[in-house]
Structure 1
């Protein structure tokens, strides 16, 4: 039984020119940690324009292959990957390898696609395609199986990649999630609720290469504890994409009580949001994060009108990233299904932003009115009160060996 090999391709990473090596190394590291319980780290290797993973089992071991696939599907930066075997630089060996990767496959039509990076190989890509295709047809015919070549819409394609010292042959090719490797774009702090929006926003910013630290606000004991448990479950799911996540759980009930005593009911939601931004910036300072992330979508609720977003932004020193700003609710819910947070976000929970607010919150706040209220409030004191009672929880992907967490963070 030959060991399986996974050939990983990327697109956006390859466009980074002078910084390309940095992104490639980060992608390699992320893959190595993602498969750390299956593959030795030195078996994840960089090559020109691709990464190679040598698996310690054959590609016929479908159970383990499925585990590898499920992990690689969560590695941002991968465009696609193929699972097959390695062949020597010899056309006869390539033909035999091509036949091997088709073993047990059910198909009636096929094609062969060759990429020849090694220009010293005596046959060009077209000639390799012809030789391998003819070999496959002959072998299947001798076994009494009717197959034919279809170059436009084949049931299956044999991919051949000829590099300097070896050849990769595979028929199983899978789409990756794309994007950039997590950690290649710095670190952000995401304001996370148990709803649909902020988990999706966090996912989308991870896909752009940012490592995410989460902060969840609650008004317990005035609201239930449910949202905290739901958020922990959501972070567990999102940790599949970055392996290890830090979650700050921040009680703001006391700070909200002080705001309620000083603010008209219609402005409270906006003031709560400004408080959350100030707290998140303190956490970002501690975590050396470069920006904040929210799940706001323009016009979706009262606090997300253009004017109110401007008023909320005014208190921030760090950039506030809003990946969902132009996405409607239906699209957000669909994405939550895709990433696995939908079932949790569908459950009822108490939103701390609705604590002692009216039915008709201000939709077009005047910043001067906000300033008048805030003259009565010591923001630094409210932030300190909230953070002094905050809890910090480390949450890991289910399969992760916690002993390698420090290496991941590096």
Structure 2
């Protein structure tokens, strides 16, 4: 195997000031956690990039597969190493460019010469290596501006480091660098995407799900567990808090006018989420709401829902349309699970004509005839907690359910 390290470029992290080191340390810790199965990893952090040493083929394969999902990485490249002899450099350049032999491409050679004692100047290295590659690869031509491939050569103190592949990373900020929030995870398409986008901005998540048996099935709960587990592939553990919601949801149906059932249900969910948020030390609540998508997501409805909490409600999808959300869900691998046909508590007891412009004072008045506080306390107290990622999980959790 020619690959000896993977070079990671930070991207947005490079714009940070005095606290830049904190972000880099968080990224390094996340990488160690995500790749604990191939530990130990030797990771060397620099101001603008990071190096992961590769010891064997297994490490290389796992790193190349998972690194594109790690937030905080702008791009990365597998790096080969050879001695500082010109013949060895020429041989290595051909081996690296071999991967492009079936393509008609343009290229150029870029040189970074940190060892100033190396006898050849940067332009001389470019001429020697570039000419050798061209003579041996008739499918390749030179283009200085925006080539298809850049063969990058770094002359370091100990050896020559060479790379030609630049793989895009997930971008964003390392998970955990911007605090913790509580994700309201319904099981639909939107909420996992909302969680993904907040994780991309460095927010560590715990999730809350409202479960209303027998109106919602074990299959619907299993679907949410799969979605929570899917989100962990972006570099962080997630705890899922499952709230027993049947008692409260039935009471709402019996006690408030049918056209405000949806609004009161969302308000009770928000009150429960806020109580749990306080208990786990989260700073915000994350939802998958998109303005105007359904009756409970009009500006008037969102105002009525927000009325029960002073906690920041983070809605990363607020200006997205449904097709944009679906595109992201497909990209991150949650879409096929989200469309499994198992009802969640948001779709039961739905009135034919829900209020799209509820008045806060009227909703509060209808709710005042029922004592919800003790029910909310009990629901939070009786929750079940699941930790993800799961170990030794079954490959297809839905096999045989349909």
Same fold per superposition (TM over 0.5)? yes
2:90 and 2:372 map into 1 onto residues whose CA distance is: 71
Go from structure 1 to structure 2 and tell me whether the alpha carbon gap of 1:316 and 1:18 turns closer, same or farther (over 3 Å shift).
same
Equivalent residue pairs, number: 391
Cα deviation, 1:121-179, whole Å, max 9, x if unaligned, reads: 555544432232123234x27xxx56432334645331223456554311222111101
Task: Name 2:192's counterpart in structure 1.
Answer: 199
Cα offset, 1:29, TM superposition: 1.4
Go from structure 1 to structure 2 and tell me whether the alpha carbon gap of 1:267 and 1:54 turns closer, same or farther (over 3 Å shift).
same
Go from structure 1 to structure 2 and tell me whether the alpha carbon gap of 1:104 and 1:268 turns closer, same or farther (over 3 Å shift).
closer
Cα offset, 1:88, TM superposition: 5.0
1:112 and 2:108 aligned: yes
Go from structure 1 to structure 2 and tell me whether the alpha carbon gap of 1:399 and 1:241 turns closer, same or farther (over 3 Å shift).
farther
1:79 and 1:101 map into 2 onto residues whose CA distance is: 22
Question: Does structure 2 conserve the Cα–Cα contact (< 8 Å) formed by 1:108 and 1:155?
Answer: no
Larger displacement relative to structure 2 (252-261 or 199-208): 252-261
Question: Does structure 2 conserve the Cα–Cα contact (< 8 Å) formed by 1:89 and 1:121?
Answer: no
Cα deviation, 1:269-307, whole Å, max 9, x if unaligned, reads: 111111111111122122211100000000000000001
Larger displacement relative to structure 2 (160-169 or 194-203): 160-169
Cα offset, 1:87, TM superposition: 4.2
Cα deviation, 1:62-109, whole Å, max 9, x if unaligned, reads: x76443222101100111100121345666654443233224542444
- Secondary structure of 1:188 counterpart: strand
Task: Name 1:276's counterpart in structure 2.
Answer: 269
- Secondary structure of 1:17 counterpart: coil
Among 140, 163, 175, the alignment partner of 1:170 is: 163
Task: Name 2:64's counterpart in structure 1.
Answer: 69
Cα deviation, 1:358-386, whole Å, max 9, x if unaligned, reads: 11111001011012122223332121121
TM-score by length of 2: 0.90
Query: Where in structure 1 are there 5+ consecutive unaligned residues?
Result: 401-410
Cα deviation, 1:2-27, whole Å, max 9, x if unaligned, reads: 45210010111111111110111111
Structure 1 residues 120-135: aligned runs within 5 Å = 120=116, 125-135=122-132
Cα deviation, 1:294-322, whole Å, max 9, x if unaligned, reads: 00000000000001111111111210000
Query: Where in structure 2 are there 5+ consecutive unaligned residues?
Result: 394-402
2:335 and 2:26 map into 1 onto residues whose CA distance is: 30
Task: Name 1:156's counterpart in structure 2.
Answer: 149
Task: Name 1:22's counterpart in structure 2.
Answer: 22
- Secondary structure of 1:303 counterpart: helix
Question: Does structure 2 conserve the Cα–Cα contact (< 8 Å) formed by 1:80 and 1:175?
Answer: yes
Among 382, 390, 401, the alignment partner of 2:383 is: 390
Across the aligned residues of Structure 1 and Structure 2, the Cα RMSD in angstroms comes to 2.4
Among 50, 75, 78, the alignment partner of 1:80 is: 75
Go from structure 1 to structure 2 and tell me whether the alpha carbon gap of 1:20 and 1:167 turns closer, same or farther (over 3 Å shift).
farther
2:38 and 2:122 map into 1 onto residues whose CA distance is: 34
Task: Name 1:225's counterpart in structure 2.
Answer: 218
Cα deviation, 1:319-370, whole Å, max 9, x if unaligned, reads: 0000100000011111111111111111112231233231111100101101
Go from structure 1 to structure 2 and tell me whether the alpha carbon gap of 1:121 and 1:199 turns closer, same or farther (over 3 Å shift).
farther
1:101 and 2:100 aligned: no
1:53 and 2:48 aligned: no
Among 356, 360, 369, the alignment partner of 1:376 is: 369
1:34 and 1:199 map into 2 onto residues whose CA distance is: 20
- Secondary structure of 2:69 counterpart: coil
Question: Does structure 1 conserve the Cα–Cα contact (< 8 Å) formed by 2:176 and 2:202?
Answer: yes
Go from structure 1 to structure 2 and tell me whether the alpha carbon gap of 1:399 and 1:100 turns closer, same or farther (over 3 Å shift).
farther
Question: Does structure 2 conserve the Cα–Cα contact (< 8 Å) formed by 1:291 and 1:319?
Answer: yes
2:99 and 2:171 map into 1 onto residues whose CA distance is: 30
2:20 and 2:85 map into 1 onto residues whose CA distance is: 32
